[in-house]
Amino acid sequence: MMAADTSKPRRTSAAVLRGRDILCFSHDWTGDPLSKTHLMRVLAKENRILWINAIANRMPTTSSKDISRIFNKLKSFTEPIREVEPNIFVLNPLAIPAYGNKTVVKLNQRSLVSQVKKAMDRLGFANVINMVFNPAAGMIAGKLGESELIYYCVDEYTAFTGSSALKEIEEKLFRDADLVVVSAEKLFEGKKQFNPNTHIIRHGTDWRHFRTALDESTLIPDEIANLPKPVIGFHGLLADWVDYELIKKVAAHFSEGSVVLIGKIAVDAEQKVKILNDVPNVYFLGRKPYAELPAYCKGFDVALNPFAINELTLAANPLKVREYLAAGLPVVSTDIPEVRVLNDCLVGVDHDDFIAKIEAANADPKPRKAVSDAISHESWEAKIEELRTIMETGRRGGMEKGGRGEEGKG
């Protein structure tokens, strides 16, 4: 990368990430709100966002869910760009998820560059910042005429089932980015080798939203209001990184209580989840609207983060834990590094200890208001300010070089 041009006036913090056009390669906008959603909603208050829906990270299977997803992708590709919220515009791209095939990758590159540039032209985007959250977008990052490229890495993506072919594309993205942001210490340790301008920004939380779990006016949904106590709850994707054997043990230990699982079941977890099908006190409630999650949290006595321990989860920073805490809940997690920085999250080092921690949390919970108050500073607005500070500092100078040219660095 070019060194910083010190003859130019340095950008002030008031100007950083304000009044800009931003590309965001992420998951589908209609999916559950994730860190990317919250960050873009904050940025959209002072910038315009072109949100590019998911470019698949893995080859599809023959499952009915994947087939349905392919059909929906083909259908949505024909839809025009739409403004889903003020200053957030959504594009539905089309690409073939075959990253081990160089011919297909080149075909995807040409097609995706064309699709995104047409959308940028239609919206009048200029002097664009490209914020990539989806490593599959690495195949076109730097080829869109963007002036700045940020890779915001929130997971060990190549550890996801079926995603190993992304390794080469993602490593190039790390190297090419002007700035790399990661959400966990383990990601930082593993990725800083690719780019010296790598920084940690841990996840925030939609504190005001989940704080409504403490409001008297918030009613516990009928589905869980009368379940036997304790009500031990989980919300989030029921994926293959969840420890279903542990959940089964929790349900057996608290056989007089209830284990509530809120969220959709991922394709790669369908077989694993079956071990819970005949457990009488496990309740699958399916995916719930984000607006309703605080009400369900209000009905939990203890909230769980029951992740299996593996390469993927050791680098994870589970958003749900901060959401539980914002709702004032006692929280118990398996032993992954990022929950250990949260004072009010109890950590079980093995299955027996995990169950013991649930017992302790249920028997002597800290006042919910105090738990929620302690996480109030971890807002998404605060995380954007962290990002602005890093960009302003510009330790490598790459963020200040004033443009990449029409084809960028690719």
In a domain, 60, yes or no: yes
Round to whole Å and give the CA distance between 88 and 238: 28
In a domain, 14, yes or no: no
Judgement on whether residues 327 and 392 belong to the same structural domain of the protein? no
Query: Angle of helix 380-393 relative to helix 35-43, nearest 10 degrees?
Result: 70
Judgement on whether residues 162 and 287 belong to the same structural domain of the protein? no
In a domain, 401, yes or no: no
Judgement on whether residues 155 and 221 belong to the same structural domain of the protein? no
Judgement on whether residues 52 and 41 belong to the same structural domain of the protein? yes
Round to whole Å and give the CA distance between 305 and 318: 8
Give the range of the structural domain holding residue 134, as residue numbers without chain letter.
21-204+379-396
Which of the two residues, 13 and 185, has the higher pLDDT score? 185
Is pLDDT of 46 > 60?
yes
In a domain, 6, yes or no: no
Q: What integer pLDDT is reported at residue 97 of this predicted model? A: 63
Span 379-397, pLDDT tens digits: 999 999 999 999 998 744 5
Span 233-256, pLDDT tens digits: 999 999 999 999 999 999 999 999
The phi and psi torsions of 326 (rounded to 5 degrees) equal -60, -30
What's the pTM?
A: 0.86
Judgement on whether residues 213 and 199 belong to the same structural domain of the protein? no
Within 10 Å of residue 253's Cβ, how many Cβ atoms? 17
Is pLDDT of 355 > 70?
yes
In a domain, 326, yes or no: yes
Confidence of residue 171 (pLDDT cuts 50, 70, 90): very high
Is pLDDT of 183 > 70?
yes
Range 26-33 average pLDDT: 93
Span 297-347, pLDDT tens digits: 999 999 999 999 999 999 999 999 999 999 999 999 999 999 999 999 999
**242 bridge partner residues:** 307
How many domains, the chain?
2
Judgement on whether residues 39 and 75 belong to the same structural domain of the protein? yes
In a domain, 332, yes or no: yes
Judgement on whether residues 67 and 162 belong to the same structural domain of the protein? yes
Judgement on whether residues 263 and 243 belong to the same structural domain of the protein? yes
Judgement on whether residues 159 and 228 belong to the same structural domain of the protein? no
In a domain, 267, yes or no: yes
Within 10 Å of residue 80's Cβ, how many Cβ atoms? 9
Judgement on whether residues 271 and 311 belong to the same structural domain of the protein? yes
Is pLDDT of 48 > 90?
yes
Confidence of residue 58 (pLDDT cuts 50, 70, 90): very low
CATH code of the domain in which 227 resides: 3.40.50.2000
Range 206-218 average pLDDT: 98
Judgement on whether residues 131 and 263 belong to the same structural domain of the protein? no
In a domain, 109, yes or no: yes
Q: Mean pLDDT of all residues in the chain?
A: 88
Range 19-33 average pLDDT: 95
Judgement on whether residues 113 and 222 belong to the same structural domain of the protein? no
